[in-house]
Amino acid sequence: MNFSGQVALVTGAASGMGLLFSQAFADLGGRAVLVDRDEEAARARAAEIAEKHPKCAIAVGCDVRSYDGVVAARDKAVAAFGKIDILVNFAGGAETRICHASGEFPDIPIEVYDFGIDVNLKGQFYFDHAVMKQMRAQKSGVIVNIGSITGEEGSAWNVAYATSKSGVMNGLTKSLALYGSKYGVRCVCVSPGPVLTRPGMASMKTALGRAAEPDEIVNMILYAASEECAFLDGVNILMDGGRSIMRNKDY
Protein backbone atom coordinates (compact mmCIF):
# COMPACT_ATOMS: atom_id res chain seq x y z
CA MET A 1 0.00 0.00 0.00
CA ASN A 2 1.21 3.47 -0.88
CA PHE A 3 -0.33 6.61 0.65
CA SER A 4 2.17 9.09 -0.75
CA GLY A 5 0.68 12.59 -0.86
CA GLN A 6 -2.48 11.55 0.99
CA VAL A 7 -3.78 13.10 4.21
CA ALA A 8 -5.57 11.19 6.98
CA LEU A 9 -7.51 12.76 9.83
CA VAL A 10 -7.49 10.26 12.69
CA THR A 11 -9.55 10.64 15.86
CA GLY A 12 -8.52 9.05 19.15
CA ALA A 13 -4.98 9.20 17.78
CA ALA A 14 -2.91 9.86 20.91
CA SER A 15 -2.89 6.18 21.87
CA GLY A 16 -4.04 2.70 20.94
CA MET A 17 -5.06 1.80 17.41
CA GLY A 18 -5.49 5.44 16.43
CA LEU A 19 -1.82 6.03 17.12
CA LEU A 20 -0.77 2.79 15.42
CA PHE A 21 -2.74 3.77 12.33
CA SER A 22 -1.17 7.25 12.26
CA GLN A 23 2.33 5.81 12.57
CA ALA A 24 1.74 3.20 9.87
CA PHE A 25 0.10 5.74 7.57
CA ALA A 26 3.17 8.00 7.79
CA ASP A 27 5.45 5.01 7.21
CA LEU A 28 3.51 4.35 4.00
CA GLY A 29 4.07 7.89 2.74
CA GLY A 30 1.02 9.71 4.10
CA ARG A 31 0.52 12.74 6.32
CA ALA A 32 -1.46 12.30 9.52
CA VAL A 33 -3.58 14.70 11.56
CA LEU A 34 -3.72 13.26 15.08
CA VAL A 35 -6.94 14.36 16.79
CA ASP A 36 -7.47 13.65 20.46
CA ARG A 37 -9.11 15.11 23.55
CA ASP A 38 -5.68 14.90 25.21
CA GLU A 39 -3.97 17.54 23.07
CA GLU A 40 -0.68 17.35 24.96
CA ALA A 41 -0.37 13.62 24.34
CA ALA A 42 -1.38 14.04 20.69
CA ARG A 43 1.30 16.72 20.22
CA ALA A 44 3.94 14.45 21.73
CA ARG A 45 2.99 11.54 19.48
CA ALA A 46 2.80 13.76 16.39
CA ALA A 47 6.27 15.10 17.16
CA GLU A 48 7.60 11.54 17.31
CA ILE A 49 6.11 10.77 13.90
CA ALA A 50 7.42 14.05 12.46
CA GLU A 51 10.90 13.29 13.75
CA LYS A 52 10.90 10.16 11.59
CA HIS A 53 8.90 11.70 8.74
CA PRO A 54 9.42 15.51 8.69
CA LYS A 55 6.33 17.64 8.10
CA CYS A 56 4.10 14.56 7.97
CA ALA A 57 2.17 14.85 11.24
CA ILE A 58 0.34 17.49 13.26
CA ALA A 59 -1.84 17.31 16.36
CA VAL A 60 -5.22 18.88 17.05
CA GLY A 61 -7.02 18.91 20.38
CA CYS A 62 -10.72 18.10 20.09
CA ASP A 63 -13.54 16.67 22.16
CA VAL A 64 -15.64 14.73 19.63
CA ARG A 65 -18.79 15.71 21.55
CA SER A 66 -18.40 19.33 20.39
CA TYR A 67 -19.45 19.95 16.79
CA ASP A 68 -17.71 23.34 16.80
CA GLY A 69 -14.54 21.57 17.90
CA VAL A 70 -14.96 18.98 15.16
CA VAL A 71 -15.31 21.67 12.50
CA ALA A 72 -12.24 23.44 13.88
CA ALA A 73 -10.25 20.20 13.69
CA ARG A 74 -11.30 19.71 10.06
CA ASP A 75 -10.32 23.27 9.19
CA LYS A 76 -6.92 22.94 10.86
CA ALA A 77 -6.23 19.78 8.87
CA VAL A 78 -7.11 21.50 5.60
CA ALA A 79 -5.11 24.60 6.52
CA ALA A 80 -2.05 22.46 7.24
CA PHE A 81 -2.21 20.02 4.33
CA GLY A 82 -4.77 21.37 1.85
CA LYS A 83 -7.15 18.42 1.87
CA ILE A 84 -8.43 15.35 3.73
CA ASP A 85 -8.25 12.10 1.81
CA ILE A 86 -9.12 9.70 4.64
CA LEU A 87 -11.07 10.02 7.89
CA VAL A 88 -10.81 7.27 10.50
CA ASN A 89 -13.06 7.48 13.58
CA PHE A 90 -11.20 5.64 16.33
CA ALA A 91 -12.34 7.83 19.24
CA GLY A 92 -14.76 6.04 21.57
CA GLY A 93 -15.11 3.47 24.29
CA ALA A 94 -17.45 1.67 26.66
CA GLU A 95 -19.25 4.19 28.84
CA THR A 96 -19.29 2.24 32.11
CA ARG A 97 -15.53 1.71 31.95
CA ILE A 98 -14.70 5.30 31.02
CA CYS A 99 -17.14 6.80 33.53
CA HIS A 100 -16.32 4.23 36.27
CA ALA A 101 -19.98 3.28 36.58
CA SER A 102 -21.42 -0.04 37.69
CA GLY A 103 -24.82 -1.59 38.26
CA GLU A 104 -27.72 -2.84 36.20
CA PHE A 105 -29.08 -0.90 33.24
CA PRO A 106 -31.89 1.03 35.05
CA ASP A 107 -29.58 1.91 37.94
CA ILE A 108 -26.77 3.50 35.99
CA PRO A 109 -27.23 7.30 35.74
CA ILE A 110 -28.59 8.44 32.41
CA GLU A 111 -25.69 10.88 32.16
CA VAL A 112 -23.37 7.90 31.71
CA TYR A 113 -25.41 6.72 28.75
CA ASP A 114 -25.57 10.24 27.34
CA PHE A 115 -21.78 10.23 27.39
CA GLY A 116 -21.65 6.87 25.62
CA ILE A 117 -23.98 7.93 22.83
CA ASP A 118 -22.30 11.32 22.44
CA VAL A 119 -18.82 9.84 22.09
CA ASN A 120 -19.52 6.64 20.17
CA LEU A 121 -22.35 7.65 17.85
CA LYS A 122 -22.58 11.43 17.68
CA GLY A 123 -18.80 11.82 17.67
CA GLN A 124 -18.49 9.72 14.52
CA PHE A 125 -21.57 11.36 13.03
CA TYR A 126 -20.14 14.83 13.70
CA PHE A 127 -16.80 14.06 12.04
CA ASP A 128 -18.47 12.31 9.11
CA HIS A 129 -20.73 15.32 8.58
CA ALA A 130 -17.96 17.91 8.84
CA VAL A 131 -15.40 16.06 6.74
CA MET A 132 -17.91 15.01 4.09
CA LYS A 133 -18.27 18.69 3.22
CA GLN A 134 -14.55 18.86 2.44
CA MET A 135 -14.55 15.57 0.56
CA ARG A 136 -17.57 16.62 -1.47
CA ALA A 137 -15.67 19.72 -2.58
CA GLN A 138 -12.65 17.56 -3.49
CA LYS A 139 -14.88 14.96 -5.16
CA SER A 140 -12.85 12.24 -3.47
CA GLY A 141 -12.24 10.64 -0.10
CA VAL A 142 -12.66 7.63 2.15
CA ILE A 143 -14.46 7.57 5.50
CA VAL A 144 -13.75 4.63 7.80
CA ASN A 145 -16.14 4.30 10.72
CA ILE A 146 -15.23 2.02 13.60
CA GLY A 147 -17.82 -0.43 14.89
CA SER A 148 -17.48 -3.33 17.31
CA ILE A 149 -18.57 -6.91 17.83
CA THR A 150 -20.63 -5.42 20.67
CA GLY A 151 -22.78 -3.67 18.09
CA GLU A 152 -23.56 -7.11 16.66
CA GLU A 153 -24.07 -8.92 19.97
CA GLY A 154 -25.55 -6.25 22.23
CA SER A 155 -24.50 -5.71 25.84
CA ALA A 156 -26.42 -5.75 29.10
CA TRP A 157 -23.78 -3.50 30.69
CA ASN A 158 -22.70 -1.00 28.03
CA VAL A 159 -26.04 -0.41 26.39
CA ALA A 160 -25.14 2.96 24.91
CA TYR A 161 -21.94 1.56 23.43
CA ALA A 162 -23.77 -1.37 21.82
CA THR A 163 -26.54 0.91 20.54
CA SER A 164 -24.07 3.42 19.14
CA LYS A 165 -21.88 0.88 17.41
CA SER A 166 -24.88 -0.85 15.86
CA GLY A 167 -26.05 2.47 14.44
CA VAL A 168 -22.59 3.23 13.06
CA MET A 169 -22.17 -0.22 11.51
CA ASN A 170 -25.47 -0.10 9.66
CA GLY A 171 -27.41 3.14 9.28
CA LEU A 172 -24.55 5.65 9.35
CA THR A 173 -22.10 3.77 7.15
CA LYS A 174 -24.67 2.73 4.55
CA SER A 175 -26.26 6.18 4.42
CA LEU A 176 -22.96 7.96 3.89
CA ALA A 177 -21.95 5.48 1.22
CA LEU A 178 -25.20 6.13 -0.62
CA TYR A 179 -24.77 9.89 -0.36
CA GLY A 180 -21.03 10.05 -1.00
CA SER A 181 -20.89 7.79 -4.04
CA LYS A 182 -21.94 10.53 -6.47
CA TYR A 183 -19.05 12.65 -5.20
CA GLY A 184 -16.42 9.92 -5.32
CA VAL A 185 -16.47 9.40 -1.56
CA ARG A 186 -16.47 5.87 -0.13
CA CYS A 187 -17.61 4.95 3.37
CA VAL A 188 -16.92 1.64 5.09
CA CYS A 189 -16.95 0.36 8.65
CA VAL A 190 -14.44 -1.94 10.33
CA SER A 191 -15.78 -3.68 13.45
CA PRO A 192 -13.24 -5.48 15.63
CA GLY A 193 -13.88 -8.28 18.05
CA PRO A 194 -11.64 -8.52 21.12
CA VAL A 195 -8.34 -6.67 20.60
CA LEU A 196 -5.35 -6.72 22.94
CA THR A 197 -5.45 -3.00 23.63
CA ARG A 198 -6.43 -3.90 27.21
CA PRO A 199 -5.62 -7.08 29.18
CA GLY A 200 -9.30 -7.92 29.73
CA MET A 201 -9.81 -8.49 26.02
CA ALA A 202 -7.83 -11.73 26.19
CA SER A 203 -10.66 -13.40 28.11
CA MET A 204 -13.25 -12.87 25.37
CA LYS A 205 -13.79 -16.08 23.42
CA THR A 206 -13.33 -16.34 19.66
CA ALA A 207 -13.45 -19.28 17.26
CA LEU A 208 -9.74 -18.77 16.62
CA GLY A 209 -9.03 -19.02 20.33
CA ARG A 210 -7.38 -15.64 20.79
CA ALA A 211 -7.89 -11.90 20.67
CA ALA A 212 -6.52 -9.82 17.81
CA GLU A 213 -3.24 -7.97 17.94
CA PRO A 214 -3.91 -4.24 17.43
CA ASP A 215 -1.85 -4.09 14.25
CA GLU A 216 -4.03 -6.80 12.67
CA ILE A 217 -7.03 -4.48 12.90
CA VAL A 218 -5.00 -1.46 11.80
CA ASN A 219 -3.76 -3.35 8.73
CA MET A 220 -7.35 -4.08 7.72
CA ILE A 221 -8.30 -0.41 8.11
CA LEU A 222 -5.30 0.67 6.04
CA TYR A 223 -6.28 -1.80 3.35
CA ALA A 224 -9.92 -0.69 3.36
CA ALA A 225 -8.83 2.93 2.98
CA SER A 226 -6.34 2.24 0.20
CA GLU A 227 -6.67 2.30 -3.57
CA GLU A 228 -6.45 -1.50 -3.52
CA CYS A 229 -9.98 -1.42 -2.05
CA ALA A 230 -11.41 1.24 -4.35
CA PHE A 231 -14.49 -0.92 -5.07
CA LEU A 232 -15.32 -1.46 -1.39
CA ASP A 233 -18.21 0.73 -0.26
CA GLY A 234 -21.10 0.76 2.19
CA VAL A 235 -20.15 -2.42 4.02
CA ASN A 236 -19.29 -3.44 7.57
CA ILE A 237 -16.20 -5.64 7.90
CA LEU A 238 -16.63 -7.72 11.05
CA MET A 239 -13.08 -8.72 12.03
CA ASP A 240 -13.79 -10.76 15.13
CA GLY A 241 -11.83 -14.01 14.89
CA GLY A 242 -15.07 -15.90 14.28
CA ARG A 243 -16.72 -14.81 17.54
CA SER A 244 -19.99 -14.01 15.75
CA ILE A 245 -20.34 -17.57 14.40
CA MET A 246 -19.73 -19.33 17.71
CA ARG A 247 -22.42 -21.40 19.43
CA ASN A 248 -22.40 -22.10 23.15
CA LYS A 249 -22.83 -25.82 22.59
CA ASP A 250 -19.65 -25.88 20.49
CA TYR A 251 -17.41 -23.74 22.72
User: What amino acid positions are annotated as catalytic residues?
Assistant: 161
Cα–Cα distance measured from residue 207 to residue 251, given in angstroms and rounded to the nearest whole number: 8
Q: How far apart are CA 243 and CA 136, in angstroms?
A: 37
Torsion angle of the four alpha carbons 175, 179, 180, 183, in this order, in degrees rounded to the nearest 10: 170
Of 133, 122, 128, nearest in space to 66 by CA: 122
Euclidean distance between CA atoms 115 and 109, whole angstroms: 10
